[in-house]
Amino acid sequence: MTHSRRRSLVVGAGLLTSALILSGCSTSGDDSGGGDGGSDDLTPVSLQLQWLPQGQFAGYYAALDQGFFEEEGLDVEIIPSGGDIVPQDALVAGDVDYAIAWVPKALGSIEAGANITDIAQIFQRSGTLQVAWADSGIETVADFEGKRIGSWGFGNEWEIFAAMAAEGLDSTSVEIITQDFNMNAFLEGDIDAAQAMTYNEYAQLLESTDPDTGELYQPEDFSVIDYNEAGGAMLQDAIWADTERLESDEEYQETTVAFLKAVIKGWAYAASDPEAAADITINEGSGWGLTHELWMVNETNKLIWPSDNGIGIIDEEAWNSTVEGALSATNESGASLITEEPPSTAYTNEWIQMAHDELEGDDIDLTGADFEPIEVELTEGGE
Amino acid sequence: MTAPSALDAPPAVRPARGRGTSPRANLMRIGLGAAALLGIAVVWELYKWLGPSDGLVIGEARLLPRTSDLAMPHIPDMLTRLFEPVTRADGSPPLWLEVANAAAVTLGIAAVGWLLGLIVGLALSLVMVRWRLAESSLMPWIVLSQTVPLIAFAPVVRSWGSRIEIGAFEWQDWMSVALIASYLAFFPIAIGALRGLQSPTAMHNDLMKSYAAGWWATLIKLRLPASVPYLLPALRLGAANAVVGAIVAEVSTGLRGGIGRMIVQYAGQASGDPAKSWGPIFGAIILGLLAAGSVALIGGGLRNYRRAEVSA
């Protein structure tokens, strides 16, 4: 075999060039995000969720299914995440036009340099609970010290530490146990107090069979700490937009208002007809059973409605207390989420207010004054 | 390289492994396989019955699982759950059908990934066998490529992919998953093929030289046939890697329709319906077997060159 050095250099250079050409191709087409979609005259828009399609995102899917986005001249693609796609990162990278993320997580990203803005605070309340057994003696946040506290991690743990900081407790005394996708670790006794969302994991508990009685667990079996009451609650699902484009790109500004109008209509639809909204997310492949999905939509509705300032408006007080919590909280290894106040561009009510103004004449209750949650009876396995 | 020295021996000197082709031997093999499956089921149930209910924990590490129905559902429960509808909604298909559909989607993606890995792996090995400089400069990168954690890699692939749009061609999400699968699949194929292509000894090469055979003729007449015993196990490893890569990449990019996402979805329902979450796990096992089995079929076509197979 002949090993020609010169020829290999030529090949190497050739490989390098073709690699460069290929990577050049791959970065073309930047701001369109969702692709051309094929529909006429509709503006393509992409929205990144923070998890799989489920009742938590019913309003967005309802807006898609009911044609509210189309009415506003938008061709929206909703992109679910399996966990490794971080919505605010996808937004910063320019992969999507808007992203759904919890405020504390986004604050962490903003301090790390992300240039994003909260344009609509969809969830007005926190949906996080900490659940312990009724006979465990854990009744308040003060009982957390020295206990094994469950959390999903990835920024979901900050409410725990904010609540502990507010009470002057030592967060390094708790052992944080990373929770799975289900509540088995809690049911089996590996966790003293597990994190649970009102709309999902808490229902999972009530859908599970108590091996001692053979019946489903009842709310009385648990001691439930609600961070809205215990302190430490932070703002959750919010719509985030690219700050720079929001400032300079007029087309993006128009799209933003249109997008928010459709989202408001979607959530109003979910509030008025939770059964239909649950059907929509099931059809999107949520994979949950009927009763669990309906529970999820109903509990999500409770986090949104009634919305005293109007849906999506960021309440300054709630925002400030989220920032305060994020500043004061230190985790079990002593690290903090953020060290300084976020910039003033971190949130704005400008666009959601415009959307409200444009919807004023329509027959939509923007505050949900008449909102009444339904009663959902859970079944085994949520089916 | 890291391969044991036994691999360097020419394959021809080792006798072919006894492969029973008579119907009786085939029956025997199927019977043994079934017995092994049954054995696992018996061990599972025995442990569940006799094992410590809290499992075995030494220090912080759990060595043996709990025997509760949550951690280890009964085998009959898991099997009957497969034939019950997924949910109580009207027209809900049985669980096994849903799992089979998802498995088919993942298998298709993994197959594309495997093919891509095959092409890239073979191309790399040919370049490396042709130019020694290429081998010494590419090999470290090939090894290094496998140390990149998949969870760091997956979002980047999807992010880049979502920007590719060439004419009518638009990047689909499943292509990101196939690409990640191929990223795992190409490695054993490239290494195995290289080792196989380099397996002819100086004596074999000299013979070809004495025939005045050029590089291409040597490749086709000598190197490629000699590489088959090394390539087949590498292809099988590549197939298994492609399946694992596809499942993990589905989870990480949130691709709908496949078995990876189904595992995560049903894991979320494991508190209320423990047996259900095992459905997609069984599906993933069968998927792996199917992938490895399909490669065995390729091996059948290349029977003439399989004088002895080398474990990769």
Whether B206 contacts chain A with CB within 8 A:
no
Residues of chain A with Cβ-Cβ distance to B208 below 8 Å are none
Cα dihedral B166, B170, B175, B180, rounded to 10, equals 50
**Which residue ranges make up each domain of chain B?**
19-68, 73-305
Question: How confident is the model over B243-267, as pLDDT tens digits?
Answer: 999 999 998 887 888 999 899 888 8
Q: Is the link from the previous residue into A306 a cis peptide, with omega within 30 of 0?
A: yes
**Neighbouring residues of A220: CB distance < 8 A, sequence distance ≥ 6:** A134
Whats the size of chain B, residue-wise?
Answer: 312
What are the φ and ψ backbone dihedral angles of A118, each rounded to 5 degrees? -75, 115
Residue pointed to by tokens 């992969």: A95
Interchain CB distance below 8 Å, B133 and A35: no
CA distances from B133 to A169, A345, B136 (A): 62, 54, 5
Residue of A nearest to B60 (CA): A190
Residues of chain A with Cβ-Cβ distance to B198 below 8 Å are none
**Start-end of H helices in A284-378:** 290-304, 316-328, 350-359
Superfamily of structural domain B73-305: MetI-like (1.10.3720.10)
How close is the nearest chain B Cα to the Cα of A233, in Å? 24
Distance CA A351, CA A250 (A): 12
Nearest CA to A267 out of A254, A281, A253 is that of: A281
Stated pTM of the model = 0.81
Interchain CB distance below 8 Å, A181 and B270: yes
Whether B115 contacts chain A with CB within 8 A:
no
The pLDDT value recorded for residue B309 is 64
Q: Please give the helix or strand (H or E) that residue B58 lies within, else none.
A: strand B56-58
Reported CATH class of domain A128-230: alpha beta
Strand partners, B69: none
Q: Select the residue of A85, A209, A381 nearest B269 (Cβ to Cβ).
A: A381
Residues of chain A with Cβ-Cβ distance to B255 below 8 Å are 82
Interchain CB distance below 8 Å, B256 and A209: no
Distance CA A127, CA A295 (A): 13
Interchain CB distance below 8 Å, B89 and A290: yes
Tokens of A238: 């919010």
Q: Which residues of chain A, if any, have pLDDT below 50?
A: 1-4, 8-38
Three-class SS of residue A50?
coil
DSSP A361: T
Question: How confident is the model over A292-309, as pLDDT tens digits?
Answer: 999 999 999 999 999 999
Pairing label, strands A128-133, A193-197: antiparallel
Q: Select the residue of A27, A53, A188 nearest B71 (Cβ to Cβ).
A: A188
Superfamily of structural domain A43-124+235-382: Periplasmic binding protein-like II (3.40.190.10)
**Which residue ranges make up each domain of chain A?**
43-124+235-382, 128-230
Residue B273: CB atoms within 10 Å: 24
Judge whether A53 and A244 are in contact, CB under 8 Å.
no
Domain pair A43-124+235-382 / A128-230, same fold: yes
The pLDDT value recorded for residue B57 is 83
Nearest CA to A62 out of A272, A255, A355 is that of: A272
The pLDDT value recorded for residue A105 is 93
Distance CA B268, CA A77 (A): 25
Interchain CB distance below 8 Å, A290 and B273: no
Residues of chain B with Cβ-Cβ distance to A153 below 8 Å are none
Chain A and chain B share a number of CB contacts under 8 A equal to 149
Amino acid code (one letter) for B60: E
- Please report the residues numbered 29 through 48 in chain B whose beta carbons come closer than 8 angstroms to any beta carbon of chain A: none
Residue of A nearest to B95 (CA): A287
Strand partners, A239: A100, A120
Residues of chain B with Cβ-Cβ distance to A81 below 8 Å are 254
How close is the nearest chain A Cα to the Cα of B297, in Å? 34
Select the residue from B81, B194, B269, B277 to test the A interface by mutation, using most A Cβ atoms within 10 A.
Answer: B269
Whether A154 contacts chain B with CB within 8 A:
no
Q: Please give the helix or strand (H or E) that residue B57 lies within, else none.
A: strand B56-58
Interchain CB distance below 8 Å, A209 and B134: no
- pLDDT tens string for chain B (312 positions)? 444 444 444 444 444 454 556 788 888 988 998 999 999 999 999 999 988 888 888 877 888 888 888 889 999 999 999 998 888 777 788 999 999 999 999 999 999 999 999 999 999 999 999 998 999 999 999 999 888 888 788 888 888 887 787 877 888 889 999 999 999 999 999 999 999 999 999 999 999 999 999 999 999 999 999 999 999 999 999 999 999 999 999 988 878 889 998 998 888 888 888 899 999 999 999 998 899 888 888 888 887 777 666 655
Residue A121 CA neighbour count, 13 Å, CB half: 27
Could you tell me where the beta strands, DSSP code E, fall in chain A? 43-48, 74-79, 98-101, 116-120, 128-133, 148-151, 175-178, 193-197, 222-226, 238-242
Interchain CB distance below 8 Å, B261 and A52: yes
Residue A152: CB atoms within 10 Å: 16
Distance CA B70, CA A28 (A): 50
Residues of chain A with Cβ-Cβ distance to B160 below 8 Å are 26-27
The pLDDT value recorded for residue B241 is 92
Judge whether B196 and B231 are in contact, CB under 8 Å.
yes
How close is the nearest chain A Cα to the Cα of B24, in Å? 46
The helices-and-strands tally (H runs, E runs) of chain B is: 11, 4
Strand partners, A103: none
Question: How confident is the model over B194-222, as pLDDT tens digits?
Answer: 999 999 999 999 999 999 999 999 999 99
Distance CA A92, CA B162 (A): 14
Residues of chain B with Cβ-Cβ distance to A91 below 8 Å are none
- Please report the residues numbered 166 through 185 in chain A whose beta carbons come closer than 8 angstroms to any beta carbon of chain B: 180-184
Interchain CB distance below 8 Å, A382 and B269: yes
Q: Select the residue of A27, A181, A289 nearest B267 (Cβ to Cβ).
A: A181
Nearest CA to B110 out of B232, B288, B312, B278 is that of: B288
Interchain CB distance below 8 Å, A289 and B88: yes
- Please report the residues numbered 143 through 172 in chain B whose beta carbons come closer than 8 angstroms to any beta carbon of chain A: 151, 154-155, 158-166, 170
How close is the nearest chain A Cα to the Cα of B305, in Å? 23
Distance CA A247, CA B245 (A): 41
**Neighbouring residues of A359: CB distance < 8 A, sequence distance ≥ 6:** A261, A264, A265, A366
Q: Select the residue of A8, A82, A184 nearest B271 (Cβ to Cβ).
A: A184
Whether A82 contacts chain B with CB within 8 A:
yes
Instruction: For B63-103, give the DSSP string.
Output: EE---STTTS--HHHHHHHHTSBSSSSTTPPBHHHHHHHHH
Whether A22 contacts chain B with CB within 8 A:
no
Whether B269 contacts chain A with CB within 8 A:
yes
Residue A173: CB atoms within 10 Å: 12
Select the residue from B62, B163, B171, B264 to test the A interface by mutation, using most A Cβ atoms within 10 A.
Answer: B163
Positive or negative torsion for Cα A255, A260, A265, A269 = positive
Residue of A nearest to B257 (CA): A285
- Structure ipTM: 0.73
Tokens of B122: 């073979």
Three-class SS of residue A126?
coil
Tokens of B220: 């086709």
